Amino acid sequence: MKAMRVFLVWMVVLSAVAAAQEAKSQAPPPPPTIASAVDREISYAEKEIVEAAEAMPENKFGFSPESLNIPGSNYKGVRTFAAQVRHIGASNYLIWSPVTGDKLPDAIKDGSGPSDLKTKAEIIQFLKESFTLGHKAAASLTIENMLQTLGKSQSTRLRLATFGVAHAFDHYGQMVEYLRMNGIVPPASRARAD
């Protein structure tokens, strides 16, 4: 009986020691910074938008609701799905390059993006690269510089960094509608649709 008590005491002690060591090894995460908070939002937008772009079959990248000829609608001249994706990428560069100080790629002349990007793979690669610049913009933000205006703009570094996310999500909403018009459930909605 005494051996059993000793054994149980040792088990409790060893459990307590193991729990203490585990607690030490699991240090709390560092507190968020302005950079990490904005970067998290950029990552969320990037995930949703890239997954939506990847979900559209290549043969539907040229789709626009104009082709549906819906009575009473007015989709004349709206962007195709590919143009939406290129526009997000080009706008990301236009919005975030002032924050990072990076030179715009030569192929970006306006918000339409490079017209020579034709394939789904090329367009998605361009989109992904534009989000890389967004992460760089977020990483550059500090409490000390986030309210600085850039050049002749009235926009602060923080506003530009977050506006890139807001703008991208505006066009993501249009991408979602284009997917659904083609019978495709957007990846972000699939878990709920199952």
Cβ atoms of residues 96 and 134 within 8 Å: yes
**What is residue 156's three-state secondary structure?**
strand
pLDDT above 60: residue 1:
no
**Is 162 within the bounds of a domain?**
yes
The pLDDT tens digits for 119-145 are: 999 999 999 999 999 999 999 999 998
Q: Which domain holds residue 99?
A: 29-188
Number of Cβ within 10 Å of residue 134's Cβ equals 26
Residue 14 located in a structural domain: no
Q: Is 34 exposed, middle or buried (0-12, 13-18, 19+ CB in 10 A)?
A: middle
Query: Is residue 131 domain-resident?
Result: yes
Split at pLDDT 50, 70, 90, the class of 16 is: low
Residue pair 42/34 in contact by the 8 Å Cβ criterion? no
| 20 occurs within a structural domain | no
pLDDT of residue 20: 63
Asked if residue 193 belongs to a domain, the reply is no
% of the chain surpassing 90 pLDDT: 60
Query: What's the pLDDT at 151?
Result: 79
- Find, among 120, 118, 100, the residue nearest to 50 by Cα: 120
CATH label of the domain that carries residue 88: 1.20.120.450
Answer yes or no: is 159 within a domain.
yes
Q: CA 174 to CA 48: how far, in whole Å? A: 13
Model confidence, pTM: 0.82
Q: How confident is the model at residue 70 (pLDDT cuts 50, 70, 90)?
A: confident
Would 7 be classed as within a structural domain? no
If one counts the domains in the chain, the total is 1
Supply angle C-alpha 103, 116, 109, rounded to 5.
Answer: 35
Q: Is residue 68 part of a domain?
A: yes
